[in-house]
Amino acid sequence: MENDILKVLISEEALQQKVRELGAQISRDYAGSPRKLLVLGVLKGSFVFMADLIRQITVPCQVEFMAVSSYHAGVKSSGVVKIIKDIDIDPQDIDILIVEDILDSGLTLKYLKDLLLQRHASNIRIATLLDKPARRAADIKADYSGFEIPDEFVVGYGLDYAESYRNLPYVGVLKPEVYEK
């Protein structure tokens, strides 16, 4: 597995430090809010970041997950998103913090945010561990962002290639020959 990694982009220590910073910032921002906070992870990629992040959040919160799949035409995201697992709570009058592994084209998060707004969520923010601004196609920005990264395919700390590498403790660049073969 480690042989498929070209280089470590973000070390385990740097990830933990950043998650502490994001958790502190989120805790400050939501402190004293009269509404309930729902931390909503987007499966599967966000699960490692999510598990670490919620333990740095000091305000009361609930946790839910949604699973979505985006249809890709070749390497381009089509923007058509299918909900595989939905939440069964009424988002009205709650604050939602969507947690994502990586903001790439942004089409998935744009779709999800619009869907939750249609359901009358009162306030929606986005926390993403990684951001690839060079590839943005949708008009969407993260409220909390861990690291801006170049346009390289990365794996580890929850992120996969063909469902593998999620268990690496760091974020690494995958050797191109792995997905070219």
Interface residues with ligand IMP (CB under 6 A) are 45, 70, 77, 100-108, 153-155, 159
If we measure between CA atoms, which residue out of 117, 145, 121 comes closest to residue 133? 145
What residues are paired with 40 via a beta bridge? 64, 98
Asked whether 22 and 53 are in contact (CB, 8 A), the reply is yes
The whole-angstrom separation of Cα 87 and Cα 90 is 8
Catalytic residue among 52, 95, 101, 104: 104
57 binds, among Mg ion, ligand IMP, none (CB under 5 to 8 A by kind): none
Would you say 34 or 74 has its CB closer to ligand IMP? Answer: 74
Would you say 26 or 102 has its CB closer to ligand IMP? Answer: 102
Rounded least distance, CB 62 to ligand IMP, Å: 22
Rounded least distance, CB 91 to Mg ion, Å: 20
Residue 158 touching Mg ion (CB under 5 A): no
Would you say 59 or 133 has its CB closer to Mg ion? Answer: 133
- What is the pattern of x (binds Mg ion, CB under 5 A) and - over residues 30-49? ---------------x----
- Secondary structure, 3-state, 5-59: EEEEEECHHHHHHHHHHHHHHHHHHHCCCCCEEEEEEEECCCHHHHHHHHCCCCC
Structure token pair of residue 118 = 């249609």
Q: Is position 86 annotated as part of the catalytic site?
A: no
Tokens 């801006």: give the residue: 148
Give the H or E element holding residue 110: helix 107-118
Would you say 23 or 156 has its CB closer to ligand IMP? Answer: 156
131 binds, among Mg ion, ligand IMP, none (CB under 5 to 8 A by kind): none
Give catalytic residues, as residue numbers. Answer: 104
The residues binding Mg ion (CB under 5 A) are 45
